Amino acid sequence: MSAPLVLKNLPEPKALDALAAFGATEKEARRIWAASVKNRAQVEDLRGLEQIRRVVMDQVQAHCAAPRIETVTRRTDPADGFTKYLFRLHDGQRVETVRIPIFDTHYVVCVSSQVGCALACDFCATGRMGFKRNLEPWEIVEQVLAVRDDADRPVRGVVFMGMGEPLLNYRNVIAAAQILSHPAGGAIDGKGITISTAGWVPMIRRFTEEAHPFRLAVSLTSAIPEKRAQVMPVENRWPLADLMAAVRDHAAARKTRAMLAYVVIKGFNTGYEDALALKELIGDTPVKIDLIDVNDATGKYVPPDAEELERFRDHLQIVGCPVVRRYSGGKSIEGACGMLANVG
Ligand code: SF4
């Protein structure tokens, strides 16, 4: 017997095709898919849907599944309201997801795309876990829906900045983003979905070519190749020059500023020479730089103090682009950038 069809794994057009094979009309298929995704309906709940013929429901019940992920723990940082969820997957693997409050109006959900990560950035707890497996689209979608169902305000954005390198799980990440951005699915604006990469160049190029509506963020952390390679081994595979060429082409194709993330580390990448290397690397490419404090529970790397950071920001004026300090909250619950390691 073949494995049951998980409707939450399929963007709407593919789901409609699959349901057509069970004899569903387009209208019936749309209703079934929307209920399965938007309402997280279990297969048996689908029976309650109106205007679906019984013969179709029998087929759906016999061949489809609507699994959910299970919340193991949920902890909120009292300092800033960031909430971290630990979810258990059907095979016992676990992933973490962070709910980020934006003003008092809505949330953005930081999702995981893999269990663990193969890229082994030295400042990242996920990187120290090694790679376990890719997440299926529905396991990514479910993180957002489970958080949404638990939230007191709407979820308006999704960032793929949790566990894993999203571009190494490209097909499933794009499928999840398509499901989440569909009006009858997650109903999140495509521009509110950001996919973040440590710099997997061929997939950045594919993402650009495919012209998805989602945003891209690229983690740089140093514009000096030897220094970057020390903390981000991906530099040895896809060097900065190739990475920046792909970023430049992406910015040109989108007619927008490329988002570059720069993890600031005390005494390591905050000097004048670091700003100068950034200026040379970026050239006239339109970019915006997000400065993010390193969060390393081992204590090997620490963020710069206020004075060092201010000095670096002054140096960065030579780059001539907007520089923003991105708040990375949830430190007391190990929910900040770089801290996710399935500790609950
Ligand atoms: S920072 Fe991102 S790419 Fe690097 S090891 Fe951590 S999860 Fe992987």
Pocket test for ligand 1, best of 117, 123, 128, 135 (most atoms within 8 A of CB): 117
Per-residue pLDDT averaged across 193-208, rounded? 98
- Looking at per-residue pLDDT, the higher value among 324 and 340 belongs to 324
User: CA geometry: angle at 105 spanning 73 and 183, to 5°?
Assistant: 85
Per-residue pLDDT tens digits for 14-40: 999 999 999 999 999 999 999 999 999
**Residues contacting 85, CB < 8 A, separation 6+:** 71, 73, 74, 96, 97, 98, 99, 143, 146, 147, 150
pLDDT of residue 1: 61
Q: What is the Å distance from ligand 1's center to 45 Cα?
A: 38
8 A C-beta contact, residue 249 and residue 205: yes
43-52, 75-84, 117-126: which has the minimum mean pLDDT?
43-52
| Annotated active-site residue in 96, 139, 142, 235 | 96
| Annotated active-site residue in 64, 121, 124, 337 | 337
What is the per-residue DSSP string for 71-100? EEEEEE-TTT--EEEEEE-TTS-EEEEEEE
Q: What is the Å distance from ligand 1's center to 282 Cα?
A: 22
Nearest to 69 by CA among 53, 52, 51, 90: 90
Active site residue 337: yes
d(CA 106, CA 190) in angstroms, rounded, equals: 16
Confidence of residue 114 (pLDDT cuts 50, 70, 90): very high
Q: Does the pLDDT at position 329 exceed 90?
A: no
Q: What is the Å distance from ligand 1's center to 165 Cα?
A: 6
Task: Copy the structure tokens of residue 213.
Answer: 């509506």
Q: Does residue 126 have its Cβ closer than 6 Å to ligand 1? A: yes
What is the per-residue DSSP string for 267-331? TTS-SHHHHHHHHHHHTT--EEEEEEE---TTSSS----HHHHHHHHHHGGGG-S-EEEEP---G
pLDDT of residue 297: 87
Note the pTM of the prediction, 2 decimals: 0.96
Per-residue pLDDT tens digits for 223-278: 999 999 999 999 999 999 999 999 999 999 999 999 999 999 999 999 999 999 99
d(CA 98, CA 82) in angstroms, rounded, equals: 7
Active site residue 26: no
> Residue of the nearest CA to atom 5 in ligand 1?
127
With tokens 């569909």, the residue in question is 182
In 3-state terms, what secondary structure has residue 197? strand
Per-residue pLDDT tens digits for 278-314: 999 999 999 999 999 999 989 999 999 999 999 999 9
